[in-house]
Amino acid sequence: MRKSRALRIASLVSSLTLLAFLSTSSRADITNVPANLSPPQKLRVALVLDRGGKNDNSFNSAAYAGAMRAKKELGITMKYVESPDILAFETLNRALAKRNYDLIIAIGFGQSDAQRRVAPQFPKIHFAIIDGRVDGPNVKSILFQEHEGSYLVGAIAAMKSKTHKIGFIGGMDIPLIRRFERGYIAGARSIDSKVQVVNQYIGMTAEAWNNPAKAKEMALSQYHQNADIVFVAAGASGTGVFDAADETHNFAIGVDSNQNWMKPGHILTSMVKKVDVAVYDVIREELNHAFKPGLQIFGLNNNGIDYSVDQYNQNLLDKTDLEKIESIKNDIIAGRIEVPDYYKMKK
């Protein structure tokens, strides 16, 4: 009873917070519009971010960047909301649908159940979800081949490791992040069959995406165990790993967004999921009346997954390194290398 009551209270608080937040919804600018004409209706898009929020410098930040680019370039009206907890996902999606947004984009697999319940109740509104799969005539599901990019950065880690020992730190222990880990280990062992991999997960709840202190503690432990490179797939928690890499003069590998700039000289590369492109593209499709429900997959073959090289890490990867990684990348695209997929191995 107490648990049920607590859940109802949490849901009520989330709803009240949401209503207060949405009360500031953007309105069409009617400046200089003749009195006898109605202002043109802009496309109204809502973005529901995951727990990490728009400043996680990773997954959510990429989604937010794509939406803001669409607002600037396509002239849409865009509202974003950051969920206070997982209980608010359904409340947020439903409240935005009731306000007749044209397109509601949910960021993160954790919103899958919310969209499964809400989307059928609003058949005239289009929904999209990143990293989740929801079937419905008005829902587009966008997934990424994370294991492919993880294979590439695993190969880079093995190529650059001097200790033949590397690490992996995941956020929430779920199949999605296990997919990163499995690809990373396979890529590393394609270069060095004897490489050792230390792996840890921050937690079993959504709090794992925003716990940099624990991530730093884990990374320091791995570096002290002689791992000299750690790949982190843990949202905002990743900043803790970057701090540990900097303090111990080791390397980390970023994820989702290009995070090389965060600790220049200590971020070996980043496994980039082009979530920003996916968000921008689905908004543009909606604007052009070309929205298509169903499943869309981004991978190496359509440039939706990659590793990053820029001014912040170009001195860490030489020409030989890059030629080797590009060769591996081309072999994956051509099907000459089959990257192990945790999703398929689970079945």
What was the pLDDT predicted at 345? 84
Rounded to a whole number, what is the distance in angstroms from the first to the last CA of the chain?
37
What was the pLDDT predicted at 25? 39
Per-residue pLDDT of the chain (347 residues; tens, 9 = 90+): 444 444 444 444 444 444 444 544 333 332 333 444 445 579 999 999 987 889 998 999 999 999 999 999 999 999 999 988 888 999 999 999 999 999 999 999 999 999 999 999 999 999 999 999 999 999 999 999 999 999 999 999 999 999 999 999 999 999 999 999 999 999 999 999 999 999 999 999 989 999 999 999 999 999 999 999 999 999 999 999 999 999 999 999 999 999 999 999 999 999 999 999 999 999 999 999 999 999 999 999 999 999 999 999 999 999 999 999 999 999 999 999 999 999 998 65
201 strand-pairing partners: 170
CA distances, 61 to each of 73, 232, 257, 267 (Å): 18, 16, 8, 18
The contacts of residue 292 (CB under 8 Å, 6+ apart) are 140, 285
Q: Which residue has the tokens 């202002």?
A: 39
- DSSP string covering 242-264: HHHHHHHT-EEEEEES--GGGST
What was the pLDDT predicted at 149? 98
Task: Identify which of 210, 206, 232, 238 has the alpha carbon closest to the alpha carbon of residue 108.
Answer: 206
The Cα–Cα gap between 231 and 181 comes to 9
What was the pLDDT predicted at 306? 97
What was the pLDDT predicted at 40? 58
Antiparallel, parallel or unpaired: β 305-307 and 267-273? antiparallel
What was the pLDDT predicted at 38? 46
All domains in the chain, ordered by first residue: 41-144+276-301 (3.40.50.2300), 146-272+317-346 (3.40.50.2300)
The Cα–Cα gap between 59 and 267 comes to 17
The Cα–Cα gap between 135 and 68 comes to 27
The contacts of residue 273 (CB under 8 Å, 6+ apart) are 59, 62, 144, 146, 149, 255, 256, 298, 304, 305
- Neighbouring C-alpha atoms within 13 Å toward the C-beta of 39: 10
What was the pLDDT predicted at 337? 98
**Residue 50 token pair:** 């995951």
The Cα–Cα gap between 12 and 141 comes to 29
Is residue 286 left, alpha or beta, with left meaning phi > 0 and alpha meaning psi from -120 to 50? alpha
